[in-house]
Structure 1
Amino acid sequence: MYILKTTDFFTKDAINKALYDKNLITSIADECSENQKLFAIYNTHYKIEFCFAENDTLHYLMIEEAECKERKSTNQCEFVDDIDFFSKKFNEIATVFRTKTVGNDLVIGNALIHFEEENVDSLYYFP
């Protein structure tokens, strides 16, 4: 089982490199797009999305809270919000990380946090 944690997004080389492999993600994903570039894994509370570029390299990894209709289907990959990140507001996170803002987004290293109405909407990792 592969476990992703919020803190992995802000720690150099913390995300398991096996998750960069499109073949692995294809085998554990709950669904994929028609063009085989986007893959989703649903956990109890979160959706994990993998996007691959034309050359099959990982373009980004995204986490967002799952909507009611989405459900946990796989136990091969899981996300743990180990710092209660998705309950924090824009100002709390900007103050703690002392980072630059780009519109509704905060950029911290390879991570981008997107906000909607001051709440964390999604968390991206760009390798």
Structure 2
Amino acid sequence: MTTATVNETFALWVPPTGQFRLVHWHTIRTPQNALCSDAVRPVTLTSELTMWTDEGASPLRLPRNPRASELMIAYQPHPGDYFGDVLFTGATDVSGDVVHGLTFDQAITLIDLYVLGVTASGTGLQEY
């Protein structure tokens, strides 16, 4: 069994295919690297959770990402449509220059929401 160390942080990468990948944040370092785009936009979900979208995905006619929209319902009542790959990370600092990864517990909570399709408000997990 693999266990995470206290200092490890993660990001949850969700492509339109319905699959997901939990990645070590230290190997990616920026949402731009993870999404292979310079046109990323943060969507603040909570004080400790950010979703990053590729603003170039829609003009490039990349597929709609229904799983990202479903996961967003846990945090926003009418999330809208997202296209292409999205990335979930922890908080950003006030300047927006530093993006923190997800803790192990945050990552597991997101994966549970993703896999089970349970809304955060129904589980008491609106804030981490």
Per the TM superposition, whether the score is higher than 0.5 is no
Greater share of helix residues, 1 or 2? 2
TM-score (norm 2): 0.29
Between 1 and 2, higher relative CO (CA 8 Å, sep ≥ 6) is seen in 2
Greater share of strand residues, 1 or 2? 1
TM-score (norm 1): 0.30
